């Protein structure tokens, strides 16, 4: 019987016992080493064959929050490995206010790890997105967008889908086993930033449509499997979701205002609008997501 589902993986009582024994037998190991060894023992890799050690580390943290295991003390602050890459990157902030046509040809490129654009993309997200940005656990892609004059106008991050979202799951028609087996085919637009000095009508919806057309092929090239449905969550106290609606995303509900770490239902966060966008025809998408016609 599963005691928890984390990062799309069911943890049985036998798994929990094995994790406790591993921690007990290797009390000198760091959390990093524990997560890597455990992922290797489970054969927990993505479709591209890469070890999912960060997902495993997040899983272990969730088990500890629930009081099911006791991890060794942290040897560094969470995220500090990522933070070391952060630097202040100089960038122009001159106003860009024009029609969409006047922007000229737009380039949209992937920002890969250690890419020349990575420091700039991270800095812009951290500085100008209202949620900030530290890092994304698991599979993810980042895009940076420039106009014909090579001016950056937008940055976006796409990551793994939320584990459990009642309105989304009901809209798809998922039961729990199907959701757990097919969740990897859903992608989450976790960050979307039009830079604050950019005022170009229709730019946001146009870029969303362009990313939607290429996200599945880019995901396949990076991780070895496609994605068939996109999702996002919009803080309704800040934005009405206009650009998503204009790009044909569908509102399927509203979140309940809790976080995934809210074990005792005491953490209140802003409710968010839930949007989805099918990336295939209805019949093909339902087949891909495991839903009978």
Higher-confidence residue of 275 and 61: namely 275
Shared domain for 91 and 40, answered yes or no, is no
Shared domain for 106 and 187, answered yes or no, is yes
Shared domain for 103 and 53, answered yes or no, is no
Shared domain for 177 and 64, answered yes or no, is no
Least confident of 79-83, 93-97, 215-219, 251-255: 79-83
Number of domains composing the chain? 2
Model confidence at 80, pLDDT cuts 50, 70, 90, reads very low
pLDDT score for 258: 63
* 111 close to 211: Cβ distance less than 8 angstroms: no
Q: Tell whether the model's pLDDT for residue 107 goes beyond 50.
A: yes
> How crowded is residue 287: how many other Cβ atoms within 10 Å of its Cβ?
14
| 169, 192, 250 from 274: Cα distances, Å | 11, 15, 8
Shared domain for 71 and 91, answered yes or no, is no
| 257-292 residue pLDDT tens | 765 554 444 556 789 999 999 999 989 988 999 887
Shared domain for 114 and 246, answered yes or no, is yes
Please check whether residue 89 lies inside any domain of the structure. yes
Shared domain for 132 and 193, answered yes or no, is yes
Shared domain for 50 and 107, answered yes or no, is no
The separation between CA 178 and the C-alpha centre of its own chain, rounded to angstroms, equals: 20
- Could you give the 3-state DSSP secondary structure of residue 187? strand
Range of the domain at 8: 2-75
Please check whether residue 293 lies inside any domain of the structure. no
Q: Tell whether the model's pLDDT for residue 199 goes beyond 70.
A: yes
pLDDT score for 3: 60
Please check whether residue 9 lies inside any domain of the structure. yes
**CATH number, domain containing residue 179:** 3.40.630.30
Please check whether residue 128 lies inside any domain of the structure. yes
């Amino acid at each position: 019987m599963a005691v928890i589902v984390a990062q799309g993986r069911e943890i049985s009582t036998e798994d929990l016992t094995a994790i406790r024994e591993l921690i007990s037998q290797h009390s000198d190991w760091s959390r990093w080493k524990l997560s890597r060894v455990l992922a290797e023992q489970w054969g927990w890799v993505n479709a591209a064959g890469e070890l999912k050690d960060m997902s495993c580390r997040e899983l272990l943290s969730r088990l500890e929050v629930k009081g099911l295991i006791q991890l060794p003390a942290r040897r560094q602050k969470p995220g500090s490995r990522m933070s070391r890459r952060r630097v202040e990157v100089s960038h122009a902030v001159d106003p860009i206010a024009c029609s969409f046509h006047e922007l000229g040809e737009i380039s949209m490129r992937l920002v890969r790890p250690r890419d020349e654009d990575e420091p700039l993309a991270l800095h812009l997200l951290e500085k100008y997105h209202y949620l900030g940005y530290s890092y994304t656990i698991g599979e993810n892609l980042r895009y940076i967008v420039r106009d014909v004059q090579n001016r950056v106008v937008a940055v976006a991050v796409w990551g793994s889908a939320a584990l459990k979202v009642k309105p989304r799951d009901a809209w798809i028609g998922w039961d729990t086993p199907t959701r757990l087996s097919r969740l990897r085919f859903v992608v989450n637009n976790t960050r979307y930033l039009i830079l604050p000095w950019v005022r170009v009508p229709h730019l946001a919806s146009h870029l969303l449509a362009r990313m939607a057309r290429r996200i599945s092929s880019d995901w396949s090239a990076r991780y070895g499997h496609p994605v068939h449905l996109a999702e996002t969550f919009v803080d309704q106290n800040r934005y009405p979701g206009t650009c998503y609606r204009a790009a044909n995303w569908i509102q399927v509900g509203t979140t309940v205002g809790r976080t995934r770490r809210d074990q005792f239902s005491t953490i209140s966060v802003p409710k968010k609008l839930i949007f989805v966008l099918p990336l295939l025809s209805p019949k093909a998408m339902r087949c891909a997501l495991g839903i009978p016609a």
